[in-house]
Amino acid sequence: MSRTDRVLIDRLRLARRQRAPFGRLADALVRESLERFLPESGPIAEIGTGDGWLREHLPEAVRGRVAHTEPATPAIEDFRLNHPGVSIVQGSAEELPFADGELSAIVGACVLDMLEDGPRAVREAARVLRPGGVLIHWLDLSTRLNEIFSQLARSTLAPIPNVFSDPSAARWPEDLFLVQRRELEVVLEVLARHRHPLAMPLGQYLNLFAMEPFPLLAAIAEFVQLVENPELRRALRSLFQIAAELCDADLRPQLASFFGRPVSSARHFENRLRHWFLPQEGFQIELSDVARTWEICRRDASDAFVYESSCVGEQRQLSAIPETPLCSDANLPAETQLMRELGVFVFVVRRI
């Protein structure tokens, strides 16, 4: 197996582990979307099937109507291991193996944000869907950062992980925090002068945004390192306070004036979809929002947390119920119970 194939399989298996606690909630949200929008009859295609996670959340009556497609051979092999005897065809969302107007629906999970050519996939969906047919897409994991990072590289802003507020407290999870690069450079100068351990990783990351051409994948990899390293996240949380304490007195007013703003990479992706699926391309948007649900379940004695949530990939495990849960109508758990919530970006368009 090639390194690229191994990376893909590892990503699929990591996604399964992240999704595992929220299986019943995913069932409910998928079922709700299908009951509301799926035509009662006609063939359905799944795009970007991967290892078959979405199939496991489709009602039995729907599964028999679905033709699965997937462009990557390693993912197809994984699908066949998970679902022996179920047919799957190699094909991409940009080039579907179906006749004009053959389908009543297209479904997919965490696919549209991974496309290399979104507009081409829109044209292909318009070709294979019959009038009145729908495309239903669920995004339950973090979206790919390629597009938003590419745009920011052409600006004066730099993204860092949003460790300054609760990302899940907003309607759309605010996972990024945008700061003027010059302001970060000033902070970095102070940290480097005092040999603070955050200076090196932050400096490496910030330097990437000054390179021509912009090294996109390297910048994303450095960002992920900042996200996944608990020590770096703790240091980032107090970044500006540390700089203010270390800097000379005459620089403190300048640092105090620095500000940034949290943004949502999922909302950025949603805006891209709205620009792809236009009426002139043959589509009408039926739904574009974060759907949420919750459950109360038994808590194991070994669990250190009483609350767990995932909102478009932004996860929380807390020892107390947060001030802003995902669902305002959720019941509070008893002493031996766990409250679990799930938020999924659901996007539905209808073929005009």
Q: Is residue 168 part of a domain?
A: no
Shared domain check, 88 and 64: yes
**pLDDT tens digits for range 88-100:** 999 999 999 999 9
Looking at the DSSP bridge assignments, the partners of residue 286 are none
Q: What is the pLDDT of residue 125?
A: 98
pLDDT digits (tens, 9 = 90+) for 275-332: 999 999 999 999 999 999 999 999 987 778 999 999 999 999 999 999 999 999 999 9
The CATH number linked to 40 is: 3.40.50.150
**Which whole-number Å values give the CA distances from 222 to 161, 201, 228, 229, in the listed order?**
11, 8, 10, 11
Percent of the chain with pLDDT over 90: 80
Q: How many domains does the chain have?
A: 3
User: What's the gap between Cα 71 and its chain centre?
Assistant: 20
CB 16 within 8 A of CB 53: yes
Provide the pLDDT for residue 243: 84
| Residues 216-272 pLDDT 10s | 999 999 999 999 888 888 888 888 888 888 888 878 887 777 788 999 999 999 999
Has residue 65 got a pLDDT over 70? Answer: yes
Co-location of 243 and 110 in the same domain: no
- Both 118 and 15 in one domain: the answer is yes
Same domain, 39 and 124: yes
Strand 129-139 and strand 337-351: pairing? antiparallel
Residue 137's alpha-carbon distances to 25, 49, 160, 301, in angstroms, are: 16, 12, 28, 37
> Is 216 in the same domain as 72?
no
Q: Are residues 30 and 138 in the same domain?
A: yes
Contact 72, 52 (CB under 8 A): no
- Distance, CA of 281 to CA of 108 (rounded, Å): 19
Q: Which tokens belong to 209? A: 């945004």
Q: Within a 10 A sphere around the Cβ of 78, how many other Cβ atoms? A: 21
**270 in the same domain as 259:** no
| pLDDT confidence band for 141 (50 / 70 / 90) | very high
Is pLDDT above 70 for 1? Answer: no
Question: Is 258 contained in some domain?
Answer: yes
Q: Rounded distance, CA 138 to CA 63, Å?
A: 17
Distances (CA, A) of 214 to 155, 199, 210, 268: 12, 21, 7, 20
| Measured CA angle at 160 (ends 243, 341), to 5 deg | 120
pLDDT 10s digits, 101-112 = 999 999 999 999
Give 26's strand partners: none
pTM of this prediction exceeds 0.85: yes
d(CA 295, CA 60): 23
Q: How far apart are CA 287 and CA 350, in angstroms?
A: 10
Q: What is the domain range of residue 192?
A: 176-263
Length of the chain (residues): 352
The reply to whether 200 and 115 lie within a common domain is no
Residues 208, 319: one domain?
no
Same domain, 137 and 247: no
Residues 282 and 311 in one domain: no
Strands across the sheet with 157-161, in order? 157-161, 176-180, 260-263
